[in-house]
């Protein structure tokens, strides 16, 4: 990955699949609300189905999340997080869809950390991860979600610096 963007220089960045211990615990605490209330229009919500209701039960979500997320990692899902000393504060979830494509399906920041462009910076890092894995495109699964469209527009505006070419359907071709 590139050196951290100014928005991320005060945070530790890590992939869920590559950490253990306290960083993994921090990431699980952060991601439970996103599992419980995924964007209804997204593919992830459809795949999660009724299981999302389990994450709405106090304490159950934090106990179940590591098992579900570990299974998702086993089928090509992962998440890039940023954390401060106390907690994971932002994430971008993605999935390798085939040998050529990575799809970003989730992103979020805890309310007290919003406005710092953390998801934008993490999405730029996910593009770098896709490139490192030899993938040819990244699709930002925005549907009609206004924030997802902003993320796509942000990355498209930095296409030359990031080495991507904006395409149709919220697709970024990696150059």
Q: Domain ranges in the chain?
A: 8-174
Per-residue pLDDT, 64 = 84
Per-residue pLDDT, 56 = 87
Using the predicted structure, report yes or no on whether residue 6 has a pLDDT greater than 70: no
92 confidence band (pLDDT: 50, 70, 90): very high
Interval 19-72: pLDDT, tens = 888 888 888 888 888 888 877 776 677 777 888 888 888 888 888 888 888 888
Per-residue pLDDT, 5 = 63
| Total-model pTM | 0.85
Q: What is the mean pLDDT of the chain?
A: 86
What percentage of residues in the chain have a pLDDT greater than 90?
36
CB atoms within 10 A of CB 169: 9
Give the single-character DSSP code of 49. G
Per-residue pLDDT, 58 = 81
CATH number belonging to domain 8-174: 3.40.630.30
165: burial class by Cβ within 10 Å (0-12, 13-18, 19+)? middle
Per-residue pLDDT, 35 = 81
Per-residue pLDDT, 62 = 82
Q: Produce one character per residue of 104-130: b if its CB has 16 or more CB atoms within 10 Å, e if not.
A: bbbbbbeeeeeebbbbbbbbbbbbebb
139 pairs with which residues across the strands? Answer: 103, 171
Q: What does the pLDDT average to over 133-144?
A: 83
């Amino acid at each position: 990955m590139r050196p951290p963007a100014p928005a991320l220089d005060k945070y530790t960045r890590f992939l869920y699949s590559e950490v253990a211990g306290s960083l993994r615990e921090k990431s699980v605490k952060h991601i439970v609300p996103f599992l419980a209330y995924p964007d209804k229009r997204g593919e992830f919500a459809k795949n999660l189905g009724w299981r999302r209701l389990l994450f709405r039960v106090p304490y159950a979500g934090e106990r179940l999340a590591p098992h579900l997320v570990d299974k998702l990692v086993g089928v090509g899902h992962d998440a890039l997080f940023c954390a401060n000393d106390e907690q994971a504060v932002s994430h971008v979830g993605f999935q390798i869809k085939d040998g050529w494509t990575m799809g970003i399906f989730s992103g979020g920041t805890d309310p007290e950390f919003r406005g710092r462009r953390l998801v934008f910076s993490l999405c730029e890092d996910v593009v770098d991860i896709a490139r490192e894995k030899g993938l040819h495109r990244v699709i930002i699964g925005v549907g009609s979600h206004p924030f997802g469209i902003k993320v796509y527009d942000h990355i498209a505006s930095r296409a030359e610096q990031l080495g991507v070419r904006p395409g149709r359907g919220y697709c970024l071709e990696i150059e």
